[in-house]
Each structure stands twice: as structure tokens, then as C-alpha cells.
Amino acid sequence: MLNGVAVTALGTMSGTSLDGVDAAVIETDGIEIFDFGPVGYRAYTQDEQAVLRAHLGRWQQDDVSAAARVVETAHIALMQDFANIAVAGFHGQTLAHDPAGGRTHQCGDGTRLAAVLDYPVVWDFRSADVAAGGQGAPLAPFFHFALAKWIGASDPVAFVNLGGVGNLTWVDPSRADPADRGALLAFDTGPANAPINDAMLARFGRQYDEGGQVAAKGKVDTAALAAFRADPYFAQQPPKSLDRDHFAGLTRAVAHLSDADALATLTQAVVWSVTAALAQCPAPPVRLLVTGGGRKNAMVMQALAAAVTAKVAPVEAVGLDGDMLEAQAFAYLAVRVLRGLPTSAPGTTGVPNPVCGGQVAAAGADLGHDSVGVCSR
């Protein structure tokens, strides 16, 4: 019944930067985007952030009940503000990600949300892809493909999300379907806001380097940057993905630097990792559309524009909302899951064959019973 029919879907995202929960509504049949709806945001308090940080690196078998309470409570509080929702896509909070070990952990139980909100909730989007041999990330590329169609792109474009970890989606909009070979290439580029935000919090007690003002006063430490560039991750062929703390060595390498020099070095690491990622794309994109908090960092944007031949702009330049793209993506993916359509493919996560990944908690799910099922194709 969903085929070709617009569904009002709500998507949520709580990223690795641990700042809060984004929520956004779109109208879609899981293939086309018909319209964009209202959006919302609920910040985590400092205490809630501290709980989440304390649970980073923990797995399902560990006691993560305190983190789960934070994640679920914050999501429910925000999601209750939206009316007339047919289905929601709940990403949860990534605490650990180890695709090489065949596991990934997004904290939060979709059955609790479905029980409280009384509409279907699609969740646990990554596990099926990892179990099938994929990286489990990134998952927004199928939505990026739909966005490229929405903005009327005809030549290859790249979406770069600078959240806690950076990721890139190269799109060939001339292809008919996102699962087609050559339609998409997507992978994590390297660190983005996470090490910058961590440094700002540790050194200043502030959440981020607003506008790149601290970094603008510093000089890049060439030795620390060279060691960062030598990380074997950058030589790996995409698709590939990262855990938030993969580049903890970079944070240690700048620990002895002045505040400004440390932030300048971390910022340049972000820029270099994106340029290195572009070199691994099938063809140079004509546009680089930047989303996520990093697009608000003037130092990052100026350095990117100077380093690449593509036209660099925030996604707002094409009428999109860079704060809400990932939340919108999980609304879109939720509808695809209900239709049994793929949510990842060899070009996006390296999975051998397209996978429809996600569990569906029915409206009013009974927390005392097994009320979830895995979509199939």
C-alpha cells in the first residue's frame, strides 16, 4: 500500500557529537521525496552527555541501562511534539562500532518508543548490514541519492556530512536506482567535529569552536598532521567506516600544543581527510554539498574551498536543511524498511548484496513480549 503513496514519516538522529537529538518529518514513499515537514531539536543536558560519554565503547552485553534511559527519554520527549505520524525511524545512540568484528551497537530500544508513541518505530538499522558483511555505515547515502534527484542534479555531486565523524556520499544522479552499480559510493572520511569538540570541552568547557575562531589563531603542527595522514585507514579502499574514537592518537598528539595550535591542527586534519576521500571517488564531483555542524565552522569551509576544485557550499545553498539531513534520512529509511526495499548496497557499506536493514516495533508494542521483526527483501 506504500508504493507510490506519500507517507508521513518522522526520523530521529543522535550523533557521535553527543549534543542532542534531531527530529524531522518528510513525506515519501521510500523512493521519491514529496515534501519536507516540521523539525525539532532536544539538547542533551550536561549530565546526560556525561552519562553517554561514560558508556562509549560499551556493547549490548554490558550494562548500558543508564545510557538507554537517557536516549529513550530524550527521544520520546521530542517525538511527542509531532502529530499525525505514520512511522518513525529511530537511529539510537552509537556507543560502539566494530564492523571488522561483525558487531555494532546503537543504544535505545525501539519497542519502548512504539509502546509510548503508539505508532510503528523502525530501529536497529545497522545490525543486518554488519551481519551480512557490510560496514554498517554510512546509511544516509540512499537518502542522498533521492536528494540529488530532488535538487535536479545531472552531474556527479558529493554530500559531505561533518558530524562527530565525517562521511562522504558520491552520487551519480543519472542512475535510476540507488542500489544500481555505480550509482553511489559512500564511506567515512575521518574525524570531523568529535575531536574538535572534545578539545574545546577539555580546554575551555565549551561545546565547540564557534566559527573556528580558536583554530584561526593557531598554526598547524606538521608532525602531528603527518602522523595522522599515515594512518592505514586512509589507504583502505572504500566503502569503509570508522568508530568515533579511531583517531584517539590524534587527540593525544596535540595534547601538548597550545589551545590555538591544537585546534588548528585538528581542523586541518578534518579538511585533509575530506580531500583524501575525494581522491578515492570514481570521478570528481562538480559540487561538494556540506552538511552537519562542520559546515558552520568558517575555518573548515574556507580551507575546503581552497583545497578542492569542486564548488563547496553548505546544503542550504540548494534549499536543504543541514541540521536535519540525517534525521530526515532515517525517516526515509524507515519507509524503505516497511516496503522491504534495500537500505544499503555494495557501494555504500561494502555489503556483498543489497540489504534491507532494520527492526520494526509495532504501534503500542508490548514491552513484555517479542514484538519486533526484521525486514526482508
- CATH number of the domain within which 114 lies: 3.30.420.40
pLDDT digit string, tens, across residues 82-107: 999 999 999 999 999 898 899 999 99
pLDDT confidence of residue 245:
82
- Span 43-51, mean pLDDT? 97
pLDDT confidence of residue 374:
37
Q: Does the pLDDT of residue 370 top 60, yes or no? A: no
Strands (E), the chain: 7-14, 20-28, 33-43, 87-98, 103-107, 121-123, 157-162, 165-171, 184-191, 287-291, 311-314, 359-361, 372-374
Question: Is position 146 within any domain?
Answer: no
Q: Does the pLDDT of residue 4 top 80, yes or no? A: no
Q: Does the pLDDT of residue 189 top 50, yes or no? A: yes
Only one residue has cell 556525561, namely: 50
Indicate if 312 and 331 belong to the same structural domain: no
Indicate if 160 and 282 belong to the same structural domain: yes
Indicate if 118 and 179 belong to the same structural domain: no
Indicate if 165 and 66 belong to the same structural domain: no
Question: Is position 92 within any domain?
Answer: yes
Q: How many domains does the chain have?
A: 2
Using the 3D structure, point to which of 318, 334, 351 is the last residue of a domain.
Answer: 318
pLDDT confidence of residue 302:
96
Indicate if 99 and 18 belong to the same structural domain: yes
Indicate if 268 and 176 belong to the same structural domain: yes
The pLDDT mean for the chain works out to 93
Question: Is position 142 within any domain?
Answer: no
pTM here is: 0.89
Question: Is position 124 within any domain?
Answer: yes
Indicate if 159 and 304 belong to the same structural domain: yes
Indicate if 43 and 123 belong to the same structural domain: yes
Indicate if 307 and 366 belong to the same structural domain: no
Question: Is position 2 within any domain?
Answer: no
Closest CA relative to residue 247, chosen from 269, 264, 262: 269
Neighbour-count burial of 230, counting CB atoms closer than 10 A to its CB (0-12 exposed, 13-18 middle, 19+ buried): exposed
pLDDT confidence of residue 111:
97
Question: Is position 1 within any domain?
Answer: no
Indicate if 247 and 169 belong to the same structural domain: yes
- Span 2-21, mean pLDDT? 88
Percent of the chain with pLDDT strictly greater than 70: 96
Indicate if 237 and 309 belong to the same structural domain: yes
Question: Is position 262 within any domain?
Answer: yes
Using the 3D structure, point to which of 318, 336, 364 is the last residue of a domain.
Answer: 318
Using the 3D structure, point to which of 278, 297, 318 is the last residue of a domain.
Answer: 318
Q: 1 pLDDT band (50/70/90 cuts)? A: very low
Indicate if 71 and 173 belong to the same structural domain: no
Domain span at 234? 152-318
Q: Does the pLDDT of residue 16 top 90, yes or no? A: no
- Span 233-246, mean pLDDT? 88
pLDDT confidence of residue 240:
87
From CA 111, how far away is CA 117, in angstroms rounded?
A: 10
* Inter-residue contact 359 to 53 (CB < 8 Å): no
Q: 15 pLDDT band (50/70/90 cuts)? A: confident
List, in sequence order, the alpha helices (H) in 169-323. Answer: 193-204, 222-229, 248-253, 259-278, 298-307
pLDDT digit string, tens, across residues 337-358: 999 999 999 999 999 999 999 9
Question: Is position 200 within any domain?
Answer: yes
Q: Does the pLDDT of residue 368 top 50, yes or no? A: no
pLDDT digit string, tens, across residues 241-288: 887 788 999 999 999 999 999 999 999 999 999 999 999 999 999 999
